[in-house]
Structure 1
């Protein structure tokens, strides 16, 4: 099992549509060079529901969805592991009786409301900590603090950095993509997640109607 250390780069998106477009761009742009088989996302139910809904709306098939239900239906309040690959969308509970599953994708998006314990289970080369919207904005921008927010605020591993430092790290991430084929066997990196997902007995053609609301 590979164990890749990565810096966590914090990124904010206006909404789920913008986030999913970024996920798709990461997957498709990297796939042009055959360096990336899938992108993984770690999210709790509400975030996972919206992310999957956006992916489906954009034309991605449901490959396999396992044990995905509202928390009040099954008392599961923890994270889900979502993967987007050439077959479509995969989703399963990320937490089991013996702890969290490993996220082994080369690129992993993790929502900022996830349990910090899951970070140690992420073996990805590139990790984005994702937030949606502006927690300081009440929707009436003439009467809130959002106008005072520094639009050039950048953060890596929870530390505020300059734009130059952020861009340098972004270039390093791009360099990682370019060098993956030289030093990393992607098939081995994804073998665990595929074995895990393909062993499920249940195959769903679509989500329950309650998923959409």
Structure 2
């Protein structure tokens, strides 16, 4: 959990250290750094990265980094605190409606008001971040919701596995390749994030296509490979 400590999200820290095994807390000096670190973790592990920020400025400080994760298709979960519902509209500490800020640069952004649905919302955020096309997801919790206590059944089941290619897309690509005079295969980071590096290499070698790699696709074809454009 990459974070910058704030009172609106203290219960998440308590839960992290009491978990079995404990969830590692990495405290940073700026919320933007927390999200960048979460994205780096996601891109290296191919699992969702987690950032937690406090309300108001904590969220606004994170928007630029969330936008980067959005453009990169990185599975990042951003959880945040929010001013309490019972004081909404009265100028409570760091009162701000975060969702309109995050909605344009996330797969989904919402506020969970029901304490009984907190666990389900967090589970949904992680699953949605991994569902193609991968990307950041935002959820915040009003103060009285995140500080409340309730007993619920925790969501269970494996996270989404990488999806196979759409048959219509494959057919359309095959037709384009058949009609192309000098086709070139360009591989980007989604090849790595989607776990398709072996399939990409096999396609290049079977079709005998020159390959250009960028981002995290570098290394799909090793240095010196006869098909690699350098």
Identify the TM-score tier after normalising by the shorter chain: 0.3 to 0.5
TM-score normalized by the length of structure 2: 0.31
Relative to its length, the structure with more helix (as a share) is 2
Higher RCO structure, 1 or 2 (CA under 8 Å, sep 6+): 1
